[in-house]
Amino acid sequence: MKTFNNFISSILIACLSLLPFTSQAGIVGTETTITLQQNISNIEKVKSFLSREDVIAKYKSMGLSSKISKERVDALTQEEVDLVAAKIDSLPAGGYLSETGGVIAGIVLIVIVWMIARDK
């Protein structure tokens, strides 16, 4: 047993001494951090919009599942997500458009972005 322990210890010492212990660290810029936070925020905004009950009901009435819409959002590029999030922000809050109109506008926007992305 002592011979086995010495053998294992020798192998471990050799491995640890031959492998380099290097690490790198860098400073992350403020702009990079802000951009990353905005990207995450826009993705969450689009996903939360698509998770609303009225939007899901509209999908079902059109014969679509919410799973397909989430897959399509996941397939969007960051620029397309930013565009959709900006459109969601620019919709009137219960003003001119009714809830149904806002849902339809959101769905149409997503379908248009998806069609553009599909053609690329």
Query: Can you give the pLDDT at residue 41?
Result: 92
Name the token pair of 101: 């109109």
Record the tokens describing residue 5, joined without a space: 């322990």
C-alpha to C-alpha distance for 69 and 6, rounded to whole angstroms: 60
Alpha carbon of 37 to those of 43, 55, 66, 95: distances in Å? 10, 26, 25, 29
pTM score, two decimals? 0.53
Digit-coded pLDDT (tens) for 50-91: 888 887 888 788 887 878 878 888 888 888 888 888 888 776
Per-residue model confidence (pLDDT) at position 86:
86
pLDDT 10s digits, 87-112: 887 766 555 555 666 777 788 888 88
Segment among 10-14, 28-32, 42-46 with least mean pLDDT: 10-14
pLDDT on residue 40: 92
Q: What is the pLDDT of residues 15-40, one digit of tens each?
A: 777 777 677 778 888 898 899 999 99
